[in-house]
Chain A
Amino acid sequence: MNPPPVSRLAQAVRDAGPTTASPPAKIDVQHLSFYYGATRALQDISLQIHPNVVTAFIGPSGCGKSTFLRTLNRMNDIIPGTRVEGRALIDGEDIYAPGVDVVGLRRRVGMVFQKSNPFPKSIFENVAYGLRINGMARTRSELTARVEESLKQAALWTEVQDRLHTSALALSGGQQQRLCIARALAIKPDVLLMDEPASALDPIATQRIEELVYSLKSSFTVVIVTHNMQQAARISDRTAFFWLGRLVEYDRTDRIFTAPVEKLTEDYVTGRFG
Chain B
Amino acid sequence: MSRDTRRRFISAAFVTACAAAVLLAMVPLAMILFFVVSQGVQALNVAFFTQMPRPVGEPGGGMLNALVGTIVLTGLAALIAIPIGVVSGIYMSEYRGTRLAAATRFAADTLNGVPSIVIGIFAYAVAVMPFRRFSAMAGGLALGVMMIPIIARTTEELLLLVPGALREGALALGATRGRAVLTVIVPAALPGIVTGVVLGLARIAGETAPLLFTAFNNRFLSTDLRQPIASMTVQIFTYAISPYEDWHRQAWAGALVLVTFVLVCSLIARVVTARVQRLRG
Interface residues of A (CB under 8 A from B): 73, 75, 78, 103-104, 106-107, 110-111, 113, 115, 117-121, 129-130, 133-134, 167, 169, 180, 183-184, 187
Contact = CB atoms under 8 A, between A and B. Distances in A.
User: What is the size category of the interface that chain B forms with chain A?
Assistant: 10 to 19
B279 A169 contact: yes
Interface stretch (B85-93, B152-160, B166-174, B221-229): B166-174
B173 A129 contact: yes
A73 B176 CA distance: 14
Contact of B172 (A121, A134, A167, A184): A184
B194 interface: no
A121 B165 contact: no
B175 interface: yes
Interface stretch (B105-113, B179-187, B202-210): B179-187
B55 interface: no
B4 to A, nearest CB: 53
A153 to B, nearest CB: 16
Contacts of A184: 172-173
A73 B174 CA distance: 10
B188 A111 contact: no
Nearest to A136: B174
Contact of A187 (B170, B174, B176, B179): B174
Contacts of B279: 120, 167, 169
Given A119-B184, A129-B183, A133-B179, A113 B174 contact: no
Contact of B163 (A111, A117, A133): A117
Contacts of B175: 103, 133
A184 B168 CA distance: 12
24 contacts: A73-B172, A75-B168, A75-B171, A104-B174, A106-B171, A106-B173, A110-B173, A113-B168, A113-B172, A117-B163, A117-B165, A119-B188, A120-B188, A129-B173, A129-B183, A130-B173, A130-B174, A133-B173, A134-B173, A134-B174, A169-B279, A180-B169, A183-B169, A187-B174
Contacts of A134: 173-174
A115 B167 CA distance: 13
Contacts of B168: 75, 78, 113, 117
